[in-house]
Structure 1
C-alpha cells in the first residue's frame, strides 16, 4: 500500500493521569515465549461521531480517556528491563504510550473498505503503529500505542500492545476499559485488572537471548491472501450437529429434520422444519436435551475441525503428510485454584492436535472434531502444570509459523468482547487487525457482529490455497 494512503497528523506520548503504585512485574513462563512475537494489533471501525463533535475534539477526548485508562493498567505505560540475573521485568515507570492521529485519503470510506466476500482491504494494515515490531523491543519502545485514523465517514481506532505483556483476554480488557472511560468518563471502572504474580506461571527460570535479541520465527515476506469468512449461528449449529452425530444418535430425529440439517445448502434462519420451528431452534433443542453434555463437541471445536479439513484438502498434501492444528487456550479457568478472570498478562498455552492428511480427509467431520475435543478437555490443571514444568526445564521462545507447510494456528476467540467497544456513539461496525504475526495458516476467530453465536474467521493463506478453499464446497456452504 502506498505510504500516501494515510497522512500522519500528529504523534505524542500519553502518560497515566496518576503515578503507578506498582514498581515492577516480572514476566512469567507464559509471557516470556512471546518476546519473539510481534505486538498484537487489533482495532475497531466506527461510524463518525455526531456532527456536533469535531474530530479535533474527539482526538483530545480520546487522549484524555487513554490517560485515565493507563492509571488502571500501569504495566502498559512501562518499559522492559532485564535484571543482571537475566529476568525480564516490566518497570511500571509511567513512561507512557504512543498516540497517533492520522487521516486517510478521501476515497477511503466505510462502504469501500468493507467489501463483502472479498479479501480484507489493504488499508487496514496502515491503521496501526509498531508495524512488525517484535515484542522484545519493549526494552526501548513503548509497550502500547493507539492510532486514531479519520476516514471520509468513519473512524478507526487501532491498538498495538506488546504480546509479552498481554494475551487476548488482557488486550480486550484494556480496550473495553478504554472505551468505557471514553463513553462515561468513569473514575471507577467495572472490571479492575489483577496484577498478582504468585501463580504457577511465576518461575525462577531464565530465558536466554542471542546478542541483539530474538527474531520472529517466520518469514513475514511470503505472498499471502487474507479474508474474513462469516458463519451464522445456524451454520455453526449444523456443523456441530455433524460433529456430534455419534452422541446424538439416540435422539429421535424425523427423516425430514435430518434431511433439513444435513442437506440444506443456504443459511436461511427463516426456514421452517415441520412447518413451525426454525432450523436453528430445532438444533438448539437437540443439544439442550442431549444427555451426554460432557462428551459433546463444542460449536467452536466443530468449526475448527471443518477449517482443518478444508484447508488441508486445499493444500493438496500427500496422504501420509502429518498435519497440525494448533489452538491457543486460556488457562485462567483451567487451573486449580483458578486465576482471577481479569489476571493481567499472558495465561495461555498452545494445544497441538495432529493427524495425517489421509486420516483427516478419509473420515467424516466428527473424527477430526473428536480429536480436538479430546485434547481441549484433557487440558486441565495437571496438563497446564506439566507444560510449565516442561518449559522451565528447557526455556524457549514460542515457535510461531508454518514450518512444514501443513500447519494451522488458531488464535483469538469468538468469546472476546470485541463489539463491546462503544466509545460513546455506537458499537463497532467491524473488527480488523494489522500485519502482525501473520503467515500461511494463521487464523483468528472473532465474534460475529450479531453476537448471537455467529463467528467471523480471519483466514490468512498462501494465494493458491485460498483459491482452492474458495472452491471447497464443504467449507463454503456454511459461509454467508
Structure 2
C-alpha cells in the first residue's frame, strides 16, 4: 500500500489533537447586536465554511508557533467582534449575532507522518485533509449553542496547515477571506490592518421578514453519506487564455494588453508596478483605437459580448460534466453560480461589508442544448444571467424571499445540477503569517455533494485557476476521460 493509499484508508490515525482552548478578543467589544440578513438566514441550514492554507514549516518551535498564532487571533478578533459572539433569537423570532466576547475555539494538532507531498501529490484530495478542520459537518444554526468560529493549527512532518471553520450565516467568502487575510497580517506584525470590515446593517437585505425555524433547527438538504470523489483540477494562465479565445471565437494569442492587464490585476505585484502597468495598458488601448478606422471600431462595438475567462471555464465544466453524467437529452440541467451583491445594489454596499451578501443564480438548459451547441452557447447563457443580475434583480430576489422565508436548498436533487461556489478572485494566497505564502488551499467536508464545485485562484497567480470538483465516482471517471476537458488541465 502506498503512502497516499494509507492516508486515504487510515486517516483517522494520522492527526492527533494536542490541545483545545478558547481565544477571546484582546479588547472587549462594544458592538451592538447584528441582525441576520436575507442572505445570512438561508445559510442556517448549511455547514460551517471550512477553508485553510497549507504552508511549509516555519522556523519556529511548536510552543512559539502556537503562542504567536493565539495572540494574533486574539488581536484580530478585536477587529471582527462578531466572530467571537453567538446567535440569539428574540421573542419575535428575529435572529441576531450578539457580540458578547464568548470567544472562539483554538485547536492545536499534529500529524508528523503526513507531508506536503502527501496532500498535493494524490489524484484525489486525501481524506486526512478533512481532519485539519473542526466542526465537521456542523450546521450553522448551531451557532446558538457553540462558537461561531474555530481555528485549527496542524503541524505536519514538513509543514503546517492553518484552517478556519466559520459559521456560514455569519460570513460569505468575501468576509471569510478578509478575516483570514487580517489574521495573517496581524501575525506577521502589521500594526494597522489594511481592510477594516464594515458591520453596518442599514441596507435592503436587512429585512422585517421572520424565518420560522423548525423544532430542533434546520438540517442540510443533501445526503452527507452519498459516495463522492474530490479532486483539484489546475488550469494555467495560458490554458485559461486559450479557452477564453476559443469561446470568443478568436485566434489565441497573449497580446500585450492581455499580459499587462493580467499583471496589473496580479495581487503579488507592487502597487507601483500595478499603476505603471495600468497606465501602459491604457496607452496601448488608446493607440490601438486611434489607429483603427471609425467603421471598424463601430463594427467591433456591435460584436458579440465578451465572455470572461471564468465564464468560459464554467461553461466547459457544465458541458463536460453533463456529458459524463450521460443524461437523457431532454433532461433539464442547472448550473448555479454564487454572485457578490455588494456592488450590484444601489446604493452599493461597502466592498468590505461583513456578512453574507450573495445570491445564487441558476441557469437552465436541456442536456441536448448544452451538448449539441458549441461551447460559446453555454457560456453566453451564463454570461447573460450574471450580466442581468443588477440592482432590480437583487431586490426582486429579496422580495421573493420575504414572501416565503426559507433556508437554502443546497444539493443535487435531480442528478443534473452543478453548484459553483467560492471565486478565483478571493485573495486566498494573500496569507503570509511571517514565513511565506501558502503552498495550497484546501477545504473540509462542509457542503460537499455530487456537483459541488469551488473555484480557487492558482498559486502562480496571473489568472490561473484551481477547481475543487466534487462528483459521484462514475461521473468523475467520465470527466477524467473527457478529452475536451482534460486538454486544458495542467499535468502537474
Under a length normalisation based on structure 2, what TM-score does the superposition of the two structures give?
0.88
User: In the alignment, which of 229, 232, 236 is matched to residue 236 of structure 2?
Assistant: 232
3-state SS of paired residue (2:74): helix
3-state SS of paired residue (1:90): strand
Partner of 2:33: 24
User: In the alignment, which of 41, 45, 48 is matched to residue 36 of structure 1?
Assistant: 45
2:12–2:128 Cα contact (<8 Å) kept: no
1:311 to partner: Cα distance:
0.2
- How far, CA to CA, are the matches of 2:461 and 2:258 in structure 1? 16
Q: Which moved more, 1:123-132 or 1:287-296?
A: 287-296
Structure 2 matches for 1:322-333, cutoff 5 A? 322-333=332-343
Give per-residue Cα distances to partners, 1:15-56, cap 9 Å, x unaligned.
Answer: 000011112100000000000000000000001112xx2111
Structure 2 matches for 1:377-416, cutoff 5 A? 377-416=387-426
Partner of 2:437: 427
Partner of 1:64: 71
User: In the alignment, which of 73, 77, 100 is matched to residue 84 of structure 2?
Assistant: 77
User: In the alignment, which of 345, 352, 375 is matched to residue 385 of structure 2?
Assistant: 375
3-state SS of paired residue (2:163): strand
Structure 2 matches for 1:58-457, cutoff 5 A? 58-104=65-111, 106-115=112-121, 118-186=123-191, 188-245=192-249, 258=251, 261=252, 279-281=253-255, 284=258, 291-292=300-301, 295-457=305-467
- How far, CA to CA, are the matches of 1:370 and 1:36 in structure 2? 32
1:4 to partner: Cα distance:
2.0
3-state SS of paired residue (1:207): coil
Displaced runs of 4 or more, over 6 A: 285-290
Count of equivalent residues? 445
1:237–1:283 Cα contact (<8 Å) kept: no
> Cα RMSD (Å) of the superposition?
1.6
1:286 to partner: Cα distance:
13
Give per-residue Cα distances to partners, 1:169-221, cap 9 Å, x unaligned.
Answer: 000000000000001152x3111000000011010100001100001011110
1:285 to partner: Cα distance:
7.8
1:238 to partner: Cα distance:
1.4
User: In the alignment, which of 8, 20, 23 is matched to residue 14 of structure 1?
Assistant: 23
3-state SS of paired residue (2:254): helix
2:11–2:127 Cα contact (<8 Å) kept: no
- How far, CA to CA, are the matches of 2:380 and 2:353 in structure 1? 31
- How far, CA to CA, are the matches of 1:141 and 1:457 in structure 2? 31
1:280 to partner: Cα distance:
2.9
1:283 to partner: Cα distance:
9.2
- How far, CA to CA, are the matches of 2:374 and 2:311 in structure 1? 14
5+ residue gaps, structure 1, are: 249-257, 262-278
